[in-house]
Amino acid sequence: MAIVTKIEALPQIKRRKRVAAYARVSDGKDAMRHSLSAQISYYNALIQRRIEWEFCGVYADDPVSGTQNNRSEFQRMLADCRAGKIDILITKSITRFARNTLVTLETVRELKALGIDVFFEKENIHSLSNDGELMLSILASYAQEESRSVSENCKWRIRKDFRAGKVSGMKMLGYRLNDGVLTIIPEEAALVQDIFSDYLSGMGIEAIMKKLRARGFPISKNGIAGILRNEKYQGDMCLQKSFISDHISKRKVKNTGQLPQFYVTESHEAIIDRETFTAVQAEISRRAALHQPRLRSPENDPLRRVWEESATGRFLTHPLTGLIKCGICGSPYKRKYAAAGTKYEKIVWICSTFNSLGKSACPSQQIPENILDAKTEEAGGFERLIEIRVPGSGKLKFIYEDREIDLTWSNPSRRHSWTEQMKQVARDRQNKIIEERRRNCDQ
């Protein structure tokens, strides 16, 4: 006869909820930094005093805008949520989470699909509740409108100051802004004077950059070019050179006539006298006229290119622009005409650091464009191509959305690069030398 023995079920140990918090401030001022510190302390205490909760940390962004979705701690928090490390997420309010309605709803929906509850304290909303998403949609829209309103108020105040010839929030070499007035910093002003003096003496922007870097002052060619053209160094101010396009992207746009500009003469003490500044502008124009780039059309340029016609009629963008990165120094590669104007002219791609500072700064290698085009085709073309990395001499790494491909390349020998025309010129030259030697011997 079979004997049945009852085995009692073991008591289930309820797993504690893993809880984290997200905090953010949008201003770098001391008071706001103190607010962020207070938020972190508050959430530490709130979570750890609940016995049924397991503290998983506080993610805190300081200081960035809630309209952007590139916050480092926010992204780290999402990565931990996707990795299954969090069950509940607490935040102060919808505006602290994000002021962009789309970002708020997309993030909350993703976390909801992962089974993660987001609790907004101020609004007393749980995202996993039945009416959570409806309330979030309404309140997030209000939050985004509030952000737009604040942005418009700030723009109005700044533009009102511009009309009055006032400036706020400016930092530049040689000056500091004190109580709305640009005040000279003597040691920095001396650098600015050297830059103007060197340029008028005949030095190029690249040579000036190398000189300053050798003295331990890191500056780029664009930085020097901007200094040489900046009217503030002669004591004037041109206000509203750029503006913020909208309160969501916060992208700075160059003002080319979309908004009025305001020019204020003798607004502050000058570092460069007007005669010197005027002479530098004339020298910039003179040098630019000597180095006008040759404009090429699709018909007379055999190299493949994406052509975009601008207002000036120039054809500009190449499909590899912005995709090639030096694996040694991390700088982008730029497109350049090597040996321009000679029979050896060719287009190459070269590391920006190597091009500006030489081999001592980056021992990278320039790549002929015809080779780069061929290797791109060999790797799979441009579709879904994210980046081309140049890890070293003769090496290329093509990074696509779904794969990585390593290829090698080498420069062809010189004899393979000679055209029939070049060979004929060389033969004619050699024959002429032989003929001259014969005539000399006959004499």
Q: For the segment 90-118, what is each residue's pLDDT rounded down to a tens digit? A: 998 877 787 666 677 778 888 888 999 99
Residue 179's beta-bridge partner residues?
none
Which of these, 349, 342, 347, lies nearest to 422 by C-alpha position?
Answer: 342
Q: Which helix (H) or strand (E) holds 417?
A: helix 414-417
Shared domain check, 183 and 95: no
Q: In this model, does residue 28 exceed pLDDT 60?
A: no
For residue 63, what pLDDT band results from cuts at 50, 70 and 90?
A: low
Residue 307 lies in a domain: no
- SS3 state at 272: coil
Compute the average pLDDT of residues 30-51.
81
Compute the average pLDDT of residues 114-139.
79
Report the distance separating Cα 202 and Cα 205, nearest Å: 10
* CATH number, domain containing residue 36: 3.40.50.1390
The pLDDT score that the predictor gives to residue 98 is 72
Q: In this model, does residue 311 exceed pLDDT 50?
A: no
Q: In this model, does residue 205 exceed pLDDT 70?
A: yes
For residue 239, what pLDDT band results from cuts at 50, 70 and 90?
A: confident
Q: What's the structural domain count of the chain?
A: 3
Residue 298 lies in a domain: no
Distances from the Cα of 47 to the Cα of 36, 75, 127, 153, 280, angstroms: 17, 21, 18, 38, 63
Compute the average pLDDT of residues 381-409.
90
Shared domain check, 236 and 332: no
- pTM summary value: 0.45
Task: Report which of residues 370 and 413 the model is more confident about.
Answer: 370
- Out of 273, 290, 307, a domain closes at 290
Shared domain check, 122 and 36: yes
Residue 360 lies in a domain: yes
Residue 282 lies in a domain: yes
Residue 175 lies in a domain: yes
Q: Which helix (H) or strand (E) holds 71?
A: none
Residue 263 lies in a domain: yes
The pLDDT score that the predictor gives to residue 295 is 46
Task: Report which of residues 404 and 432 the model is more confident about.
Answer: 404
Report the distance separating Cα 237 and Cα 241, nearest Å: 10
Q: In this model, does residue 375 exceed pLDDT 60?
A: yes
The pLDDT score that the predictor gives to residue 86 is 93
Q: Which of 49-63, 169-183, 357-371 bottoms out in mean pLDDT, i.e. has the lowest?
A: 169-183
Report the distance separating Cα 59 and Cα 75, nearest Å: 10
Compute the average pLDDT of residues 230-253.
71
Residue 256 lies in a domain: yes
Q: Which of 77-86, 297-306, 393-402 bottoms out in mean pLDDT, i.e. has the lowest?
A: 297-306
Compute the average pLDDT of residues 314-330.
78
Report the distance separating Cα 319 and Cα 316, nearest Å: 10
List the domain range (segments joined by +) for residue 234.
165-290
